[in-house]
């Protein structure tokens, strides 16, 4: 399976796990919708910083409301 | 390997292959930088419409310059 783990990139450069085993990533007006292979869903105000699919890693940056 | 294929979503709803076997996806000021596992690189003026990682598929929409 080729799901990815999604992390927040914090201001200090550290990374913080947000959601594991993400299949779907969909930017919407309300934020980025993340959906895991276990149908766990989160909607976050964020922008995509970088995705490294072979490493199963997606980095997000927080957006102000 | 968990690379994905990147497609344009055309106005008529059809999909058009843009780059295969993409590992890295990085939004930048100049556009979205795509890099394949074969180090082929493309930079496109686009927004991410949807990513389905388990299906190895990323859909992009064209942005006007």
Query: Is residue B47 scored above 70 in pLDDT?
Result: yes
Sorted by where each begins, the domain ranges of chain A are 4-60
Q: List the single residue in A24, A47, A56 with the smallest CB-CB distance to B52.
A: A24
Q: Can you tell me the distance from the alpha carbon of A23 to that of A58, in angstroms, rounded to the nearest whole number?
A: 11
* CB within 8 Å: B23 and A53: yes
Q: Given a cut of 70, is residue A6 above it in pLDDT?
A: yes
Q: What is the pLDDT of residue A65?
A: 65
pLDDT tens for B33-45 read 999 999 999 999 9
Instruction: Give the pair of three-digit tokens for residue A24.
Output: 């779907």
pLDDT at B65: 64
When pLDDT is cut at 50, 70 and 90, the band that residue B1 belongs to is confident
Yes or no, beta carbons of B1 and A54 under 8 Å apart: yes
Q: How far is CA A50 from the centre of its chain?
A: 10
């Amino acid at each position: 399976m080729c799901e990815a783990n999604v992390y927040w990139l914090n201001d200090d450069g550290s990374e913080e796990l947000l959601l594991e085993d993400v299949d779907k990533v969909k930017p919407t007006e309300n934020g980025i919708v993340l959906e895991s292979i276990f149908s766990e869903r989160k909607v976050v105000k964020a922008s995509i910083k970088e995705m490294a699919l072979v490493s199963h890693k997606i980095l997000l940056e927080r957006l102000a409301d």
